Structure formats: structure tokens, C-alpha cells
Amino acid sequence: MTKTAWVFPGQGSQVTGMGTDLLDIPSARDKFAQAEAILGWSVTDICQSDAEQLSRTLYTQPSLYVVETILADLIRERGHQPDLVAGHSLGEYIALYIAGIFDWSVGLHLVKRRAELMDSVSGGMMAALMNFDREQLDMVIAQTPNVVLANDNSPAQVVISGTPEAVQAVMSQVKAKRAIPLKVSGAFHSHLIAAAAMEFQEILESVQFQPAIVPVVSNVEPIATVDPEILKQHLIKQMTGSVRWREISLLLPTQGIERVVEIGPGNVLTGLIKRTSPGLILENVRNATELPV
């Protein structure tokens, strides 16, 4: 048997119309109805609205959680199971659900609150840098207050986060092929959203985590574990901590993983993994037509 990891994308992967082809499947329709009861708004309506509304954190995160968990559950219904799971930022919540850490509605309640808190944050800035000098980047970040490496995605792609002045200072000093400001409301994955993270920590601590049925690799500490307390502590740190995706990609082959399936819209994670750990079999399940037989 080929050892397989399932990975789940986060904010930024959303696309208008995602999930709408799942409405032909009765179990998916039921999940969308349950989600509307919890959220107070329709995921399918939001996914069919304009890109700007879908891209608002308040709506993006719960919508991705619902669509990705439905896809993953449909794959499981067809007899497939992962040997390891991981998710990028918001995607970690889908990974934890698939690993049996919490049930579906608990996960959606957590994501709803996380989205509300992150949507309320303002004043920060994030920017993606492509094809840069890593040594120079590390040095400039170390010398610039109020900016951090938020997402270490691959050897050639990172996201920095901080105050607008600090982010722009780094962008002006580091030579990169491309540097793109991201459309987000705040400095996510940095100490600048500590107040929101503290509020969310209280919510997380009130939720009982179950032992995982498959190992989970967390964003802030790229090790595979089934320990519920370790996974909870990692999740508590996740909102202000760096997403260490490059290290997760490097870890996969060391765990005997030969095949990676990205479940959710787009192909961002398989693209990043390809650049970091070439040689793995990479597949995508983005919609109903790509579900395995």
C-alpha cells in the first residue's frame, strides 16, 4: 500500500463557485444545511457571490472548512483513508477533524469564532515574496522590529507579516523576483494579533480534544503526533505563530509518505510540496468530478 498524506489548503485558496457541484450529493446538502444553522448564513450563497465577499476572512474560513470537510468525507465514504494529515493555517482545522480530534460541528464553531476574531483585526499588513535571498531576508527581518516570517511556504516563497511600515521596509531592502501585498485585514501569524489569539485560546482550552486516529503535523511544530494535548497546544500557538510549511513538506518523505492528496480548491499546497520534496506522487481533489471512484 502506498503511504498517503492528505493536506488541506487555507485562506487564499478560495474560488468563486467552489462547492456548488457538491449540492447534487445528498450528504453534502445535509452538511451545507447544518453549516447554515451554525453560521447564520449560507456557505453556498457566499461561494456563489462576488470574489470580494468570499475573500473576507469572516466568510472565507468557514466556507473553506465546510467545502474541504465535505470533500474529505466523500473520499472516506469511497473507502480511502490517509496515513497522515496536515493543513495550511485554516486547513489545520480540517486535518484535525479528519484525524478525529473533534467532531464536525465543534470544528465549525471553532472556525467561525476564529474567523470573527481575525476579521476584526486591523492595521497590519502581509506580503508574499517569491525567489529571494533567504539569508538576506532573515537578516533584514532580524533587524526590523514589528515584522515576522508568517508563512515559510517553500525555498522560493514566503509571506511576511507586521505593521505596514515594517513590511514595506523589508520589501524595499530584500531583492525578490516578486513581492505582492496580500488582501488581508491584519498581520496574521504574528504577535500583532496577540489580543485576538488570547481570546481564542480561552475557547480552545474549553474544548476537549480526542486522541487522533492518524498522525497530524502541526503548522508551528512540524512533527507527526496523535497526542491530543500536544496538538491543542500547537493550535493555541498557531494564530500568532509561523506556518512552517516548507518543513512539513520536507518531513513527509521521512514519514514514509509516497503520495500526497490536496483536498480543496486550487493546487497551492501540491505546488509548494513539488518544489520542496520532488519525487512524491501529487494529486488534487478540488471538486466533485475529481472524487476518486
Per-residue pLDDT of 6-27, as tens digits, reads 999 999 999 999 999 999 999 9
Q: What is the pLDDT of residue 293?
A: 86
- Taking the whole predicted model, whether its pTM rises above 0.95 is answered as yes
pLDDT in tens, 214-256: 999 999 999 999 999 999 999 999 999 999 999 999 999 999 9
Do 99 and 195 lie in one domain? The reply is yes
Stretch 195-204: mean pLDDT: 97
Q: Are residues 153 and 223 in the same domain?
A: no
Q: Do 17 and 82 sit in the same domain of this protein?
A: yes
Together in a domain, 215 and 149: no
Cβ distance 200 to 239 under 8 Å?
yes
Query: Do 210 and 174 lie in a common domain?
Result: no
Quick: pLDDT tens for 263-273.
999 999 999 99
- Quick one: 144 and 248 in the same domain? no
**pLDDT-derived band at 185, boundaries 50, 70, 90:** confident
Kindly give the residue spans of alpha helices, DSSP state H, lying in 85-227. Answer: 91-98, 104-120, 134-143, 164-173, 194-205
Catalytic residue numbers read 89, 189
Contacts 24+ apart (CB under 8 A), 108-112: 108/35, 108/38, 108/39, 108/62, 108/65, 108/66, 109/38, 110/203, 110/204, 110/207, 111/61, 111/62, 111/65, 112/38, 112/39, 112/62
pLDDT at 183: 86
pLDDT in tens, 86-145: 999 999 999 999 999 999 999 999 999 999 999 999 999 999 999 999 999 999 999 999
For residue 32, pLDDT over 90 is answered with yes
The pLDDT mean for the chain works out to 97
Contact 234, 221 (CB under 8 A): yes
Residue 56 pLDDT exceeds 90: yes
Residues 58 and 101 in one domain: yes
Could you tell me the pLDDT band of residue 184, with boundaries at 50, 70 and 90? confident
Residue range 2-6: mean pLDDT, rounded? 97
What is the average per-residue pLDDT within 192-207?
97
- Domain with residue 210: its CATH number is 3.40.366.10
Provide the CATH number for the domain around residue 172: 3.30.70.250
Residues 208 and 136 in one domain: no
Q: Same structural domain for residues 105 and 133?
A: no
Residues 23 and 162 in one domain: no
What percent of the chain has pLDDT above 90? 98
Sign of the alpha-carbon dihedral angle for 167, 172, 174, 178:
positive
| Domain housing 136 | 125-181
Q: How many domains does the chain have?
A: 2
Q: Are residues 104 and 137 in the same domain?
A: no
